[in-house]
Each structure stands twice: as structure tokens, then as C-alpha cells.
Amino acid sequence: MPKREDIQSVMVIGSGPIVIGQAAEFDYSGTQACRVLKEEGVRVILVNSNPATIMTDPEMADATYIEPIDCAILERIVAKERPDALLPTLGGQTALNAAEELGRTGVLDKYGVELIGASLDAIDRGEDRQLFKQVVEAAGAESARSRIAHSLEEADAVAAELGYPLVVRPSFTMGGLGSGIAHDEGELHRIAGAGIHYSPTDEVLLEEGIEGWKEYELELMRDRLDNVVVVCPIENVDPVGVHTGDSVTVAPVFTLTDREYQKLRDIGIAIIRGVGVDTGGCNIQFAVNPETGRVIVIEMNPRVSRSSALASKATGFPIAKIATKLALGYTLDEIVNDITRSTPASFEPAIDYVVTKVPRFAFEKFPGADDTLTTSMKSVGEAMALGGSFQESLGKAMRSIDKRGLGFSWDGARPDHREVDELLEAMRRPTEGRYLQIQRAFWGGAGVDEVFLATGIDRWFLEQINAINHLAMEVREADFLDDDLLRRAKRAGLSDLQIAHLRGMGDRGETVIRELRWNYQIRPVYKTVDTCAAEFDAVTPYYYSTYAEESELKPRRREAVIILGSGPNRIGQGVEFDYTCVHAVQELGRDYDTIMVNCNPETVSTDYDMSDRLYFEPLTFEDVLEIYRAELRMGPVKGVIVQLGGQTPLSLAARLKQAGVPILGTSPESIDLAENRELFGQVLKREGLNAPRYGTAMSLDEARDAAHNIGYPVLVRPSYVLGGRGMEIVYDDGQLGGYVERALRQARADTVVSGRLPSPLLIDKFLQDAIEIDVDALYDGNELYIGGIMEHVEEAGVHSGDASCTLPPSTLSDDQIDRLRQATRAIADGCGVRGLINVQFAFMANTLYVIEANPRASRTVPFASKATGTALAKAAARIMVGESVADQRARGLLLPDSDGGASRPGQPVAVKEAVLPFKRFRTPVGQSVDVLLGPEMRSTGEVMGFDRDFPHAFAKGQLAAYAGGLPTSGRAFLSVNDADKRQLPMIASRLHELGFTICATQGTASVLKRYGIDVDLVGKISDGDGREGADRTAGRPGRNAVELIEDGSIDMVLNSPSSRDSRSDGYLIRAAAVAADLPQFTTVTQFAAVLMAIEAVKSGDYQVVSIQERARRLFAYEHAEG
């Protein structure tokens, strides 16, 4: 059945900013969808607020709207573009919810837009708990026994009936947001209360606890002739109770027989039919009782998902691409499997390797947050590895995580009985470190059964980990590392570094082990991911390494460029770096064979048809060096690009160069000039530039001396961050003492000698009330091209990744811009940059300070590129292989005459807004973690607001980042610290003019009253229950700020903190606002921006313009000027 001819144009909705539970995988799926639609000759209209995506590149769609995914804005786009159809299944829950709303509000009917991929009914049946339960029953399967509750009273009644533990799941949320397991009434009230709030339909499902059962997922696809295939089964190593996004997972299934697996498959097929997904894919999760085999269907997602991205990368079956074709009317048998190019997509992949996915967490960024893994997802990224065995793939996946201290380790003393008991006790609570605890318990002599009882992890996986442990022991104790033993160690997934440690040689022994290994001719071979277990020849060069006999690499003719990706997403190193890598692949692919190395299954870069060759491999020195050596045997290699994938590849540069690998672009020596404080200080001095003063300290006395020398306030941070506290701004000796004391307490006891820390604290001058600026630039050794100058909205001190910023800068003078340009050039030249550089500056009292320079792509490169209509990363890749800035102007990758630092009359303003994950993190007693912005980056993603001026663009940024955006009326809670009080009257009177009523606690209220501004006084929380000190004029007399927030009588919170103390009112108010999802701002500069933005929202006159149109205008202007 061929493609439908009645669909000429399709609107695709992306997933918006990267948040926990909805990450780069939707850039991968959306990009695939756009490519398919374009190939099929369909006009593509794309909406996504996230500029750091490949899908929002201008060539991916005919009209790309980097606009908030908001119903009103979507309607304007629909009205303007009049698409024939809307494809909502590739942009995660965000797109599905938006489509649902467009359907419910009649927009789709009004403009005659057909929903393709999934109907509204199917979305409802898949997502509505009650309807889905009926589908499961009709499929002859079981759901967990459950009841719906809309209130805590109803929840209590359910608990009385079903007993504890109860699993709480809110309807229509993603990534398990708001869900959890309640073991008693207190937990039930907390979790269900939040769940009811998060659910757009104010309902939660309460169901019987199935914690500890085995968990499986199936990825299915169905076409309009009702053909169904299961693309991939996935087994969760962590049993039910840990969200699948936070579990270690493997593919295919390991601990089910065929009969048991086919039962899941039968149920899955019956469900996809029952739900009515008729042209697309879905993911279904199952629990299997490990004692009886009883199967319970947990849930389904009638769309592509994180798991489908994983399944696609695991098997080579591109689910999003095929889902798009199915939505256009093709049937599975009409779609060619593009890996074999001879067989159809209507089959089920057979794999002959093992896939392991390991999640990556960021708890160290959220001090105080409960790090227990639950049914609510908390990981920020993941790494996948393929290997010839479970052991090999687990070892590779664990080292792909790229975080010190998490891999299997036999360092230190062998755990004694007491420690083993402690480990067994600790591992009952699932955490990020559980697998290390398991391994160390085995090392200390724990039995598989003991570990099974503590964790519920299937014995099969535990036996495998135990076997790795036994082999490690053999390696450790052998008199001599012979050929056979070393080979077995490599096959079990141990890295050269781990083996070096086992042999007591430390980090430096890695080289010795590698040389020994090479002497024995023990080298990895590279096998192909081919969807069919070698049954047919594979055309697509998608490789993984394994220690076996035959390599399948093929010789090349063209010179190759190897591009190192960024590994698992983490806070500070996310999708932006995948974006820049993909650009290098796209651009250099014109003249070179591009070879991509990465281990993140969520990304576009690991789509097997992006690069000429894809290595799905860990980004460690060992793995990269082996790939380089293997590729060198296949044909010429020009070199390796390390500056596009963030810090992970950059940190390999020096060692790779030492090992003889040519590094393209900025040399490792130049990288060191920028990264090494002392050397960078010399560069600045030579160029006559200022840096904030700094010092280092190992003890409290030294810290005090340094701080006095520099002058308070100072920024303090450890030079080596591991799971502990990060940076803090310190204003006096008392706070400094507290910081050092905590650092000493957190350092391992055996590493602290007479009050001295094992590694130094870094102490910097903190630039108070300074304007911070990010500059991205390209340098070819001769010409500097400013990619963008971005002025932070928040004052200096907020991490540049968390700050909102504006391009062009909103308050900088031409003179200041000129000084930034000259300083950037001096630094780029002084360090010897070839390619991209990012410099962070601050103006304090019009003195320019250089905060730091990163000789690599920064996270703002995609934002600056989109805002200026240029392709900075592509140009950078060209410069790295030896071309000039002028060449890139000529190619059209950069503006022909000016650059991104130039300002033009009538130029629209782009605002980048960060999205923060505070909702996901709670303290062990269930309170939200503090939301204050500081020098430690904590945002997971970003959005771009693009409009005629700053207020409109900022308002759009808010709308894109937070559902609903800014309020235009209602009641604002206002509270500022003493330093900010002078600005208070202006802010408050403006709020009044805009029609808000204001409420405040005593301190703020008395200032306002002195200025004659009406204010409702609310009680302090510390006044006991708050009833005593309350003013009669408050809406509900006697209620304190937290209670008012909780009962919905406050619409916005403006709170600049006076204390970080977790017992303070400020903290409790901020926590309550997070829980209630209120717009909340914590710096006074934000308040001013917010006021202007509210005015813009009220005017309702957003410009909704595609980026293609904006670029046409920009280039037209440039040509007219030139």
C-alpha cells in the first residue's frame, strides 16, 4: 500500500527543552522524521523551542519555528502554514500533550489538520490509566490491581482496600514525574498529593506494589494493514521499583525462555491493536513475577520514546524513521531495511551481541537531594555499549559513563565481614553506586544469594558480575600476566586501566598493560551492527568492538577525520555538543570520510547514517586509540577532532597526541594554555587583560589568608569535585569556616592529615553586581569571527549555563562590545586557538574581567548560530582542517562581511532561558531541594525566545521553559534580601500598575508601606503555624506564605534570598513554589526583566516567524549593506 498522496505538508512538534525524562532522544527521532518527510517530498513545518537541536537546523524543515510549544502559538503557526497533517508522536510527551490540546480545543478541526501517527482516541487509550486497563484486560492480560484517586481522602480509601506498598502514578506525565512507592500513610499523602498536582487531569493511579519483580520492555511497530513487529525486547537488570530510565538495562532478554518471551510478545501485539496505534510505534512495559511467572502490564507509550531510541541504536532498526513512513501510509513490507538494503522492515531484528545501557546521574549537583532511585526518573543521561558478552558490554558501558569512582574497582583494602554486611545493607536502597557496592561485596566474599536478597537483581546477572570479580582476582593474584589471562580479562570487559590497578601499577600502568597487550597481539576487532545476526550482508558501517577473531572493517580511499562525541548527557555537557559534532560530520563529509565515535544512544550523532562510519564505543583513551589504530590500517586518517564534544574528548587530547594521534584544530598545548590557570594568567598578563584575583588553600588558615588577600566576597570550590559540594559564594570568615569544615568532613577520613585537605580549594574573587558576558568566536590564526556576544540577564555569579542571556546584548555599549572583541581576539591569538573558543567576561564598574576561556565548542554555539543565521560549528570544523574564516564567509557558512558581534537596526532579539530540574529532586523527607541559582550549573536544557525586542523574547523564553509562562494578573509574593531593598519600590509599584496584588512578609512589607505601596502582610513560617502574625488584609487571614502557595492563592514568587539555610523561610517558600509549579525568580535583575515581559505578554503581539524567514531578512540586510 503506497504512500498517501493526500498529505502534502506535515507539521512536526518537537519535545522542547531537555529535561529529565525527555532528552536528546527526541532530537534524534525528530531529525529522522524531518529527513524522511523531506525525502518523501512533503513540506515540513517544525515547531520546537530548543535551539540546541539538529532538527531545528534550517535545512531540516521548510519552515522551522523556534517558538514555545504553546497552544496559542501553535494555532498561529497552523493558521499561517495550513499543514495537511500533524505528526505528534516523535516529540515525546510534550508533543503528544500539545496535539491532544489542539485536538480538544478544536484547532485541528477548524483548520482541517489530520492527526497522523496516533489518533486522539489512541492517545487516550494509551495514556489514560482506566482506559488502558480495559485494553489490557481485553488483551487477556493483567494489570496490577488498582484504583483511581482524585484526592487524598480517596487515596486513603484505596490504601485500606489494597494495602501497602502502593505505587502512585499520576496520569499524563512523562518520565514517571510525580510517581513513587508509598509504604505508609505519610508517604502516600506526600507522593499522591504531588501526583495529583502534576497530573493535568488531577488524578493518580494507586496500584498494588510489584517492587522486586522482573521488568521488561517491548518496542513494537504497527502499520495500517495491521502488520506488527517487535523491534526489540529490553530487560531491566534492576527490578521493578527503579524507573527504567534509571535502571541498567540489557537487550535482548536474558532470563526468559522463548515461551515466556512469546507470551509478552502476544500481549504486546494485542495491546498495540487494542489501543489503536495503527501507523507507528509504541513501548510497553511488563513486570514478571520471578517466582511464578505471573505477568503484569505496567504501561505503554503510544509514541517513540527514550527506549525506542535505545532499541534503534541497539538493533540498527530506526524506529522513528519507520514510524514516520508508516504515518505517511507505507506498510512495513514496503519499507526497505537500510542496513541490508535487500530485506524489508517487516521483520524482527536478531542481534548477535549484547547491549547494555547504564544511566548517568547528577546528584552531586543537588546537595541534600535524596539519591534513592525510585519510579520517578532522576538520571540526566545514559551510555550504551555493545559487546560480545554481557560482561564485555557491561564493562564498556560502565566506563562510557565517564564519571570517576563508579566503575568496578578493587582498589583499597578488600572489604572485611563488617564492610560486606554494610554493603549488603546499603545496596537494599537502589542508588547510583549500587553496582559498585555489589562488586565490592562479592570481592569481600558475599554470596550471590545474599546479594539477590538485598537487591532483587536476577541471579544470572549477579553471577556474571561475580565472575568478573573472580577473574579480576585471578588477574590480581597471578604471578605473571600471560597471554591467556590477559585475553580473558579483556573479553570480560576489563579496561587496561582497571587491569593496571589490579596489578598494583596505578593509573600509569595503563601504558604498560597496553604495550603488553599489543605484544601479545590482543587487539579488539570491530563487528557490524546489521539487524540480522550476519544472516545477510550489511551495507551500513555501524561498528562496535569486541575481543574476538575477525574484524569486519573495510578499506577506505578518502582521507578520514575522526570526530569524538560527548558521551552520556550530563548537566553541563548535553545535546549542544552533539549538535556541534553532527555539524562537523555534515560539513566535513563533503570532502572527507567522517568517522564518529560516541556512546550516547540518545543522540543524532549515533544515527548510523549520519557519518561515513560510526563506532559505538566508550570515549576513553584506550578505546579511541584502538579505533585510530584500526582505521589507520583501513586508509589515510587526517586526524581527530576533540574540541566539539565538550570536556570529555578535550581531556583526551594531550594523551592522544603523545600516542602519535594527530589532533585537528587547537593543539593540546594551546588547550593547556587556556585551561591551566597559571599559564592562562600569563597569557592574560601578556595581553594586558584582567582576571579576578584568586588563590588556593589546603587548610582553614590558608583559606582565610587567601580570602583576605583577595577580598570578600569570594567564590570557593574544590579543585576535584566528587559527589560532594560544589562551588559557593562566601561573604565572610564565618561562612568560609563553615565551608572548609564541611569539606574536611566530607573528605575521606584517611586522606585528611592534621586539618589539611587531600586536594586544594580554589578561591576566586567574586564579582558582585557585575554583568557577565559569554562570547563565542572562531579564530583561524589570522581573522577572528565573533559568533555571538551574549549578555546574561542575571548578574555574575550565576553559572553561565543557568543564566538567561540575550543576543544581541541588551545593555552593552558599542565601546564595551569593541573591548570584548579585542579581548577575545587577544586570548584566541595568545592561546593559539584554531577553531572555536568561548570566553566568559564580566564588566564590574566598567572594568573588564576575563573569568575563563574554553578552547572548544561551548553550549551556546547552537543558540548563537540560530540567533545569527550562521553555521558556526560547520565553519569551525572547516577551520580545524586548515581553512580560513574568509573561506567560510565565501561558503555561506558565516555572514559575508560582518559577524555575530555586529548589531543591526531592527535586529530581533534572542533570549536563551535555562530549564532547571528542581521538581525531580527531593530531600529524603520529601521536601524540594533549594532552587537558588549559583555558580554550580544545574540546568538540564534550554529554550530560545525570539522576537522583536527583549521583553517579548524574554516572555517567550518563559513560556517555552515553563508551561503557561508568566502570569498577567493575580497575586505576587515578593520578598527581597537587604541588599536588594532599594530596588524594591520600583518593582512593587510596577507590579501594581500591571494589576497584581502584592503580598510579603514583615521586612519587605514595611519597606513597601513606607513607600505607600499596598501590600498584604503574610505570616512567617517561623512564627509557628503563621496564624498569629497574619494581617487581616491577606486573602485568607492567618495563612503563611507556604500555605498560600500550597492552596493556590499565589501566582508568582519573586524571592531574592538572604540565606541558603535549609531551615529558613526563604527556602521553604522556594520549595513550596517548586512543588506548586509557580513561576519563581530569585535575582533582582530577573525581576526587572519579568516586569517588562509581563507587559509584552499582555500586549499579546508576539512575532511568529520561521527561522528561514529571519535568515533571509538578515542576509538580505547584510547584502544590502555590503
Partner 1 sequence: MYAGDAYGALGQTQGEIVFSTGMTGYQETLTDPSYDRQIVVQTFPHIGDTGINGEDGESGRVWVAGYVVREPSPTVSNWRSDGSLDGLLVDQGIVGISHMDTRRLVRHLRSAGAMRAGIFSGAALQAENGRPLTTGELLETVRRTPRMEGSHLTGEVSATQAYTLEPSGDFEGSAPVCTVAAVDLGLKAMTPRLLAERGCRVHVLPVTTTLEDIRSLHPDGVFFSNGPGDPGTADREVDLVRGCLDAGLPLFGICLGNQLLGRALGFGTYKLKFGHRGINQPVKDLTSGRVEVTAHNHGFAVDAPLGGPVPAPYGGGRYGRVRVSHVDLNDDVVEGLECIDIPAFSVQYHPEAAAGPHDAIHLFDRFVGLMKGSREDEAHA
Residues at the annotated binding site for Mg(2+)? 285, 299, 301, 840, 852, 854
* Residue 523 vs residues 179, 545, 907: alpha-carbon distances, Å: 46, 9, 56
Contact call for residue 265 and partner 1 (CB under 8 A): yes
Q: How far is the CB of 437 from partner 1 (least distance, A)?
A: 21
Q: How far is the CB of 254 from partner 1 (least distance, A)?
A: 5
Q: Which residues contact 395 (CB under 8 A, 6 or more apart)?
A: 385, 387, 408, 468, 492, 493, 494, 495, 498
Restricting to residues 903-942, name those near partner 1 by CB under 8 A. none
Rule CB under 8 A: say whether 536 interacts with partner 1: yes
- Which residue's C-alpha cell is 548537566? 571
Distance (Å, whole) CA 84 – CA 507: 60
**Percent of residues in the chain assigned helix, strand, coil, to nearest 5:** 40, 20, 40
Member of 176, 193, 252, 1026 binding partner 1 (CB under 8 A):
252
Closest to partner 1 by CB, 448 or 747: 448
Cα–Cα distance, 581 to 724 (Å, whole number): 31
Pick the stretch among 19-27, 287-295, 377-385, 408-416 that binds partner 1 (CB under 8 A). 287-295
The candidate with the shortest Cα–Cα distance to 287, out of 397, 182, 207, is 207
Instruction: Give 46 or 529: the residue with its C-beta nearer to partner 1.
Output: 529
B/e letters for 911-949, b = 16+ CB within 10 Å, e = fewer, are bbbbbbbbbbbbbeebbbbbbbbbbbbbbbbbbbbbbbe
Between 260 and 883, whose beta carbon lies closer to partner 1? 260
Binding-site residue set = 129, 169, 175-176, 208, 210, 215, 241-243, 285, 299, 301, 717, 765, 767, 772, 797-800, 840, 852, 854
Q: How far is it, in rounded angstroms, from Cα 968 to Cα 926?
A: 31
Task: Cell numbers for 923, please give them.
Answer: 530531600
Rounded to whole angstroms, the Cα distance separating 659 from 496 reads: 15
- When asked if residue 253 is in the footprint of partner 1 (CB under 8 A), the reply is yes
Distance CA 220, CA 1030 (A): 58
Total site size for partner 1, rule CB under 8 A: 57
From the number of C-beta atoms within 10 Å of its C-beta (0-12, 13-18, 19+), residue 905 rates as exposed
**Binding site per annotation, positions for ATP:** 129, 169, 175-176, 208, 210, 215, 241-243, 285, 299, 717, 765, 767, 772, 797-800, 840, 852
Site for partner 1 in 547-566 (CB under 8 A): 548-550, 552
Residues 6+ apart with CB under 8 A from 394: 248, 356, 358, 385, 387, 464, 465, 468, 493
Least distance to partner 1 from the beta carbon of 293, Å?
6
Told to check if 293 binds partner 1 by CB under 8 A, we report yes
184 versus 535: smaller Cβ distance to partner 1: 535
Chain mean position to CA 1076: 23
Smallest distance, partner 1 to C-beta of residue 526, A = 11
Contact status: 266 vs partner 1 (CB under 8 A): yes
The nearer residue to partner 1, 389 or 1064, going by C-beta atoms, is: 389
DSSP label of 978: G
Q: Does 535 bind partner 1 (CB under 8 A)?
A: yes
Task: Answer for the pair 668, 591: CB distance below 8 angstroms, yes or no.
Answer: no
The position carrying cell 519552515 is 63
Judged by CB, which is closer to partner 1: 247, or 643? 247
* Per-residue contact flags (x/-) with partner 1 for residues 176 to 215, judged by CB under 8 A: ----------------------------------------
Pairing, β 9-13 against β 43-47: parallel
CB 821, min distance to partner 1, A = 56
Residue 226 binds to partner 1 (criterion: CB under 8 A): yes
Q: For 478, phi and psi rounded to 5 degrees?
A: -65, 145
Say if CB 812 and CB 796 are below 8 A apart.
no
Nearest approach in angstroms of CB 348 to partner 1 is 4
| Residue number with CB closer to partner 1 (218 or 998) | 218
Residues in region 646-685 near partner 1 by CB under 8 A: none
> Looking at 13, 229, 377, 812, which residue binds partner 1 (CB under 8 A)?
229
User: Minimum distance from CB of 611 to partner 1 (Å)?
Assistant: 23
Q: Least Å distance between CB 143 and partner 1?
A: 21
Least distance from partner 1 to the Cβ atom of residue 460, Å: 4
- Which residue has cell 564579582? 767
Cβ-based nearer residue to partner 1, 50 or 528: 528
Distance CA 1067, CA 1073 (A): 10
Establish if 442 lies at the interface with partner 1 (CB under 8 A).
no
Residue 616 beta carbon to partner 1: minimum distance, rounded to whole angstroms: 16
Is the peptide bond between 367 and the residue preceding it cis, with omega within 30 degrees of 0?
Answer: no
Closest separation between CB of residue 346 and partner 1, Å? 4
Distance CA 406, CA 383 (A): 13
Query: Alpha-carbon distance 820 to 809, whole Å?
Result: 12
- Choose between 462 and 604: whose C-beta lies nearer to partner 1: 462
- Single-letter residue type at 366: F
Q: Which is nearer to partner 1, 84 or 217 (CB)?
A: 217
Nearer to partner 1, 467 or 478 (CB): 467
From 59-67, 531-539, 640-648, 1068-1076, give the range in contact with partner 1 by CB under 8 A.
531-539
| Least distance in angstroms from the C-beta of 391 to partner 1 | 9
Q: Which is nearer to partner 1, 292 or 782 (CB)?
A: 292
Q: Rule CB under 8 A: which of 317-356 touch partner 1?
A: 331-333, 342-344, 346-354
Minimum CB distance to partner 1, residue 484 (Å): 11
| Annotated binding residues for Mn(2+) | 285, 299, 301, 840, 852, 854
Residue whose CB is less far from partner 1, 155 or 345 = 345
| Torsional sign, CA 690, 692, 698, 702 | positive
Which residue's CB is nearer to partner 1, number 542 or number 962? 542
Contact 169, 198 (CB under 8 A): no
**What is the C-alpha separation between 989 and 993, in angstroms, rounded?**
6
Residues numbered 354-393 forming contacts with partner 1, rule: CB under 8 A: 354, 388-390
Site string for partner 1, 456-485 (x = CB under 8 A): --xxx--x---x------------------
- Tell me the residue ranges of DSSP E strands in 816-886: 835-844, 847-854
Q: How far is the CB of 631 from partner 1 (least distance, A)?
A: 21
DSSP-derived secondary structure for 247-284:
S-EEES-SS--HHHHHHHHHHHHHHHHHHT--SEEEEE
- The residues, ordered by sequence, that sit 6+ positions from 1020 with a Cβ below 8 Å of its Cβ are 1001, 1002, 1026, 1029, 1040, 1041, 1065
Does 758 bind partner 1 (CB under 8 A)? Our answer is no
Asked if 358 and 336 touch (Cβ cutoff 8 Å), the reply is no
Residue 3 binds partner 1 (CB under 8 A)? no
Binding partner 1 (rule: CB under 8 A), the pick from 105, 134, 257, 1033 is 257
From the list 313, 396, 440, 527, which residue makes contact with partner 1 (rule: CB under 8 A)? Answer: 527
Residue 464 or 870: the one with the smaller Cβ distance to partner 1 is 464
Dihedral (Cα; 618, 622, 628, 632), 10-degree rounding: -140
Work out whether 262 is an interface residue with partner 1 (CB under 8 A): yes
Q: Residues in the site for partner 1, rule: CB under 8 A?
A: 1, 225-227, 229-230, 252-262, 265-266, 290-293, 331-333, 342-344, 346-354, 388-390, 458-460, 463, 467, 527, 532-537, 548-550, 552
